[in-house]
Amino acid sequence: MNIAYLNNLPEVENIYDVDLDHDEKVVFTAKLTTFGTEKDEMLGNDSRFTLTNKRMIANNGVGVWTVDVAEDVISCERVDTKFLFKKLTYFSVDLNTKIVFEDGFAELTGFHFYFNGKDTKKFDEIINHSLS
């Protein structure tokens, strides 16, 4: 991802109180309607998402998933699909390393982030610019 683009975005309020490094800033926050693994296994409803100029952070109220956008993220793309008669849009994030849950029984190699309409548009804009 283009870190220079993320560095140039304006800082937004850190409404979810994410601990930041000294040279890190929040550039996007949103409530997720659904948060899942790369296989769409549910990790949480009503989760919170924060994008900084360095990391993606998702908090479902039980656990916090943090990935470094420069080191961990291979790709992030918008996916438009249908389920029955409903159009669904989500962002698929692929990681270069496997995340193993603390219990050792589950692992994932990516995330699916589902946002509300206005947040989908804003995140899509950020992703389109940071991947170019």
Q: Whole-angstrom Cα distance, residue 24 to residue 70?
A: 13
Task: Output the pLDDT for position 86.
Answer: 83
Give the predicted TM-score (pTM) of the model. 0.91
Q: How many domains does the chain have?
A: 1
Chain segment 75-91, per-residue pLDDT in tens: 999 999 887 888 889 99
Closest among 39, 65, 37, 38 to 51, alpha carbons compared? 65
* Residue-number span of the structural domain to which 57 is assigned: 3-130
Task: Output the pLDDT for position 51.
Answer: 97
SS3 112: strand
Q: Whole-angstrom Cα distance, residue 67 to residue 3?
A: 14
What CATH number has the domain bearing residue 39?
A: 2.30.29.30
Chain segment 18-65, per-residue pLDDT in tens: 999 999 999 999 999 999 999 988 888 889 999 999 999 999 988 888
